[in-house]
Structure 1
Amino acid sequence: MHINADDSSKHSKNRRQSSTLSYSIPSRVHTMHLPHKNSKKNQFDIPNGGYGWVIVLAIFLINVSTWGANSGFAIYLAFYLRTELFTDSAELYALIGGLAIGSGVTFSPVFTYLTGKIGIRPVMIIGAFLQLGSNLMASWSVHLWQIFLTQGLLAGFGMAMLAMPAMALLPQWFKKKRTLAGGLAASGSGAGGIMYNLSMSQIMQKYTYKWALRTQGIMCFSTVCVAISLIRVRSTVTGKGKFQIFDASALSCFGFWMSVLWVTFTMFGYVVIKYTLADFTHSLGFTSSQGSVVSAMTSAGGFFIRPVIGIIADKYGVVTVNIIVHILTGIFALAMWIPCRNYGTAIAFAFIEGGIMGSIYTSCATVLARISGLKIFPVFFGMVWFFLGIASIVSPVIGMSLKTDPPAGMVSDPTQYRSVSIFVGCCYFGAALSLWTLRAWLVARDELTEEGACKGHTQEKSILA
């Protein structure tokens, strides 16, 4: 509302009678702007439900066909290691998996920028076709470099162009129930991991790995097409949000660097467990089919336990709960993985560890939105996930390099993964320490400033610590 300073006393009585009355203002007179008293409230009017639950379903389906399908690489990795189909280098096979999960994520700032330019749905459609093409072309590959380009790089880009835009949607639809919604959506990766680990293993045994790749590609494409049709964006929540590749203000934010340490340590441990348990089971002397079951149990744990973690985090604080979860993940890696010698223990370990090791997918968007505020959340999210992608690429290579060879004359040895388990445990302890430091910073920041978000960007209020 514009108010003429000279006529303010003349019209004061009329203003009290009608709040909707407006006045013409000469251009020569100085004016002041009085924002609507509910403008700030309307800016952050997040529904906490409604169509948001349909968005949760859509992201669940996307996670089934991206992170869940990617979990199935454990079956292909065990197959490649056992048959030495393209090379006898375990590290090179592990690098394929690292590229599949991390190459596209590394370019997440570019995809964030692209999403702001052409929209979320076109980006995801491109990703769907890249994912389909990667699986089909990998099935016809005959050289190692072809597998690197298709099952590695192309698959990674396709998965990132589907999963990354989807992960940024939940903060627009949920506030109080955001971590619960994130847990339900993230459980899709568990459902997909169960489905693709077990089904692709059976297809691989009855037919060939080539038909497993083709079937996986067609199944993923069909599922994500349904999910893309359900996606909706609430742009009014963030206003003119920033969609750019880089924001220098993030580099001066202490919370940004703590987030980088958190995701890096977490992915160092997470990807190693995710990709190696099938081969670890084989090192105990069990069959490939039993190895696929153990690998699937990590996804089963994620499906059943992640939503529970989301509920607990909504009640006690997402950062606090994740600190405890990461400590437990590290303890189980040291206390249960190292002495594991039988099939039952391997299944139990995979289920428990699978349920708690991926809590980053439940909480990452919530924590980063808390640090940055919604206006710069897309670019902030992409910059943090650049480092997550790098960690994901090198993590399986580190894991395979730490694996020891069996004694001469033996095909397997249950101690081959001892160093690997120690590495995983230490990584999760490092992730917990990073989150603990981040929690202290969040509490101190909120006590010292009313603005709260990095570099003065508007934040939404929520109890996360």
Structure 2
Amino acid sequence: MAREGRYSVAAADVGEKIPPVLELEKAEREIPQEAEFPDPDGGLRAWGTVFGAFMINFSCYGVITSFGVFEQHYSVNQLKDEPLSTISWIGSLQLSLVLLMGCVSGPLFDAGYLKPMIASAGALYVFCLLMTSISTEFYQFVLSQGLGVGIAMGFLFSPSMSTIGHHFKKHKILAFGIFASGASVGGTVVPIAMRRLFDEVGFPWAVRTLAFLVLFCMICGFVCCSSHLPPRRGGRVIDFRVFEDRAYCFLVLGAALVGMGLYAPVSYGVTYAVAHGVTQDLAFYSLSILNAFSLFGRILPNIVAQRVGPLNILVAACGLAGVLDFVWVVPRSTTGILVFNAAFGFASGGYVSVLPAAISTLSVNPQNIGLRLGMAFFCTSFFWLAGAPMQGALINLHGTYWPAAVFSGSTVLAGVALMGAARGLVGRRTGRWWV
């Protein structure tokens, strides 16, 4: 029988079926397996970490999912001579770097550099927003808001998420859901606030106000976030040995395809609404409505996942979101667009909230969570980078949003099929339906 302690979950799940567990341990052989660490599951320090990570995610994905507000503003002001597909590179670069830098920030987190990363990346984030406030040319926005902010977010997002896995066992999935809800809260508040600030104080001071808000979030994250396990020394920045686990391979590739197509209604929802007669004010509110309903989509699936398994919920949520991507351009009235945004926000919220939990459950060694998440984000980042510009190019080429909707829905459902394959592999080797 497998011993109690660090790997008791895997042993209890499979009973005497030791070979599947050994297969996972082989895929993680770069981590010493003999050390035992207690598994906390709550307490002031643990929930304080969740709050700090929530604030960091508020200022990371909360701002990323609000880029549609900036995109619409740029298209009629500073960058009015640039096509949408060109402007979208700013947000796409920002989004891909959040994931790409995970291959560096994940191992650095495992090595014990959580606090230094929050401090240095937070300072870079604020500085780049201040530079964005004085930018006027496309390349300046790319360097400050795209490249600079994206790199800073990349050193913040993955470590703040990984540290939650150090503090929770039984309530890990719920903790990840609370963390993910930070993006929904930020994505609800930021578009409304920026729209009002653009009109009342102008673009420069609107962005500077956002910088001060980010600074407050960084201070909360620095003070509250903490790591539980001791540092892992000698780890690699990029280590493809994690892909010896076939289920992990299918899951990462599926997540990459889903990420490439999923967020067309987020990236171009505001411009689509304006093009179909929705006022600019209401169009910005429609993005906030989408993000507000994604709050429920980030928390409720995680609660259900504790009973039925994160991979099962991930496949179901992404499948529903893929179907909605196909019908994104069907609603043309103001009411229809707002209703769609609410439905899509709920369905798409499960992707970003349940995916980290699904990846972490495939890791036998909790010290290896940062590496697994980092490698997953590294691989998916290239797909995220290409997604929005490809969708924008299809819109510009055909003069309609239909091709982008078909492309998005098709890639998402293809990714869901690969996630389903990963779920089947895990189910076979563990001998249980909960995966």
Smaller-chain TM-score bracket: 0.7 to 0.9
Structure 1 residues 194 and 87, CA, compared in 2 at 3 Å: closer, same or farther? same
Query: Which of the residues 411, 416, 420 maps onto 1:432?
Result: 416
Structure 1 residues 390 and 36, CA, compared in 2 at 3 Å: closer, same or farther? closer
Contact 1:116–1:244, Cα closer than 8 Å, also in 2: no
Structure 1 residues 54 and 216, CA, compared in 2 at 3 Å: closer, same or farther? same
Residue of structure 1 in register with 2:20 after alignment: none
Structure 1 residues 392 and 242, CA, compared in 2 at 3 Å: closer, same or farther? farther
CA distance in structure 2 between the partners assigned to 1:75 and 1:383 by the alignment: 31
Residue of structure 2 in register with 1:235 after alignment: 229
Shift of 1:350: 1.0
Shift of 1:218: 1.1
Residue of structure 2 in register with 1:387 after alignment: 379
Residue of structure 1 in register with 2:181 after alignment: 187
Q: Residue 401 of structure 1 aligns to which amino acid in structure 2?
A: A
Contact 1:72–1:200, Cα closer than 8 Å, also in 2: no
Query: Which of the residues 342, 346, 356 maps onto 1:355?
Result: 346
CA deviation profile, 1:404-436 (whole Å, cap 9, x unmatched): 4797xxxxxxxx211222222222212221111
Question: Highest CA radius of gyration, 1 or 2?
Answer: 1
Residue of structure 1 in register with 2:334 after alignment: 343
CA distance in structure 2 between the partners assigned to 1:73 and 1:338 by the alignment: 20
Please tell me whether residue 205 in structure 1 is matched to residue 203 in structure 2. Answer: no
Residue of structure 2 in register with 1:308 after alignment: 300
Residue of structure 2 in register with 1:196 after alignment: 190
Higher helix share: 2
Q: Residue 244 of structure 1 aligns to which amino acid in structure 2?
A: R
Shift of 1:125: 0.9
Contact 2:262–2:321, Cα closer than 8 Å, also in 1: no
Residue of structure 2 in register with 1:397 after alignment: 389
* 1:372 counterpart SS class: coil
Q: Residue 54 of structure 1 aligns to which amino acid in structure 2?
A: G
| Higher alpha-carbon deviation: 419-428 or 430-439 | 419-428
* 1:439 counterpart SS class: helix
Residue of structure 1 in register with 2:139 after alignment: 145
- TM-score normalised over the length of structure 1: 0.82
CA deviation profile, 1:239-286 (whole Å, cap 9, x unmatched): 747742122422332123212212212211233222211111111122
Query: Which of the residues 278, 284, 287 maps onto 1:286?
Result: 278
Q: Residue 216 of structure 1 aligns to which amino acid in structure 2?
A: L
CA deviation profile, 1:378-399 (whole Å, cap 9, x unmatched): 2222111012221221111011
Residue of structure 1 in register with 2:31 after alignment: none
| Higher alpha-carbon deviation: 239-248 or 305-314 | 239-248
Q: Residue 371 of structure 1 aligns to which amino acid in structure 2?
A: L
What stretches of structure 2 of length at least 5 have no aligned partner?
9-34
Shift of 1:464: 4.5
Q: Residue 71 of structure 2 aligns to which amino acid in structure 1?
A: L
Please tell me whether residue 334 in structure 1 is matched to residue 326 in structure 2. Answer: yes
- TM-score normalised over the length of structure 2: 0.87
Please tell me whether residue 217 in structure 1 is matched to residue 201 in structure 2. Answer: no
Shift of 1:118: 5.7
* 2:362 counterpart SS class: helix
CA distance in structure 1 between the partners assigned to 2:211 and 2:429 by the alignment: 46
Residue of structure 1 in register with 2:51 after alignment: 57
Please tell me whether residue 371 in structure 1 is matched to residue 362 in structure 2. Answer: yes
CA distance in structure 2 between the partners assigned to 1:101 and 1:280 by the alignment: 21
Shift of 1:114: 3.1
Contact 1:87–1:144, Cα closer than 8 Å, also in 2: no
* 1:376 counterpart SS class: helix
Q: Mapping of 1:241-320 within 5 angstroms?
A: 243-320=235-312
Contact 2:132–2:144, Cα closer than 8 Å, also in 1: yes
Please tell me whether residue 123 in structure 1 is matched to residue 107 in structure 2. Answer: no
Contact 1:242–1:379, Cα closer than 8 Å, also in 2: no
CA distance in structure 2 between the partners assigned to 1:104 and 1:128 by the alignment: 13
Shift of 1:86: 6.2
CA distance in structure 1 between the partners assigned to 2:214 and 2:102 by the alignment: 21
Residue of structure 2 in register with 1:31 after alignment: none
Q: Residue 108 of structure 2 aligns to which amino acid in structure 1?
A: L
Q: How many residue pairs align between the two structures?
A: 406
Residue of structure 2 in register with 1:93 after alignment: 87
Please tell me whether residue 47 in structure 1 is matched to residue 40 in structure 2. Answer: yes
What stretches of structure 1 of length at least 5 have no aligned partner?
1-34, 408-415, 448-461
* 2:263 counterpart SS class: helix
Please tell me whether residue 420 in structure 1 is matched to residue 404 in structure 2. Answer: yes
Q: Mapping of 1:76-115 within 5 angstroms?
A: 76-83=70-77, 85=79, 87-115=81-109
Please tell me whether residue 171 in structure 1 is matched to residue 155 in structure 2. Answer: no
Structure 1 residues 463 and 365, CA, compared in 2 at 3 Å: closer, same or farther? farther
Structure 1 residues 404 and 248, CA, compared in 2 at 3 Å: closer, same or farther? closer
Contact 1:190–1:303, Cα closer than 8 Å, also in 2: yes
| Higher alpha-carbon deviation: 340-349 or 102-111 | 102-111
Shift of 1:83: 3.4
Residue of structure 2 in register with 1:450 after alignment: none
Residue of structure 2 in register with 1:159 after alignment: 153
* 1:358 counterpart SS class: helix
* 2:169 counterpart SS class: coil
Please tell me whether residue 71 in structure 1 is matched to residue 65 in structure 2. Answer: yes
* 1:320 counterpart SS class: helix
Residue of structure 2 in register with 1:32 after alignment: none
Structure 1 residues 180 and 38, CA, compared in 2 at 3 Å: closer, same or farther? closer
Contact 1:258–1:434, Cα closer than 8 Å, also in 2: yes
CA distance in structure 1 between the partners assigned to 2:4 and 2:395 by the alignment: 62
CA distance in structure 2 between the partners assigned to 1:311 and 1:74 by the alignment: 30
* 1:269 counterpart SS class: helix
Shift of 1:102: 1.1
Structure 1 residues 38 and 338, CA, compared in 2 at 3 Å: closer, same or farther? closer
- Tell me which of the two structures has the higher relative contact order, counting C-alpha pairs closer than 8 angstroms and 6 or more residues apart: 2
Structure 1 residues 243 and 343, CA, compared in 2 at 3 Å: closer, same or farther? farther
Q: Percent identity?
A: 20
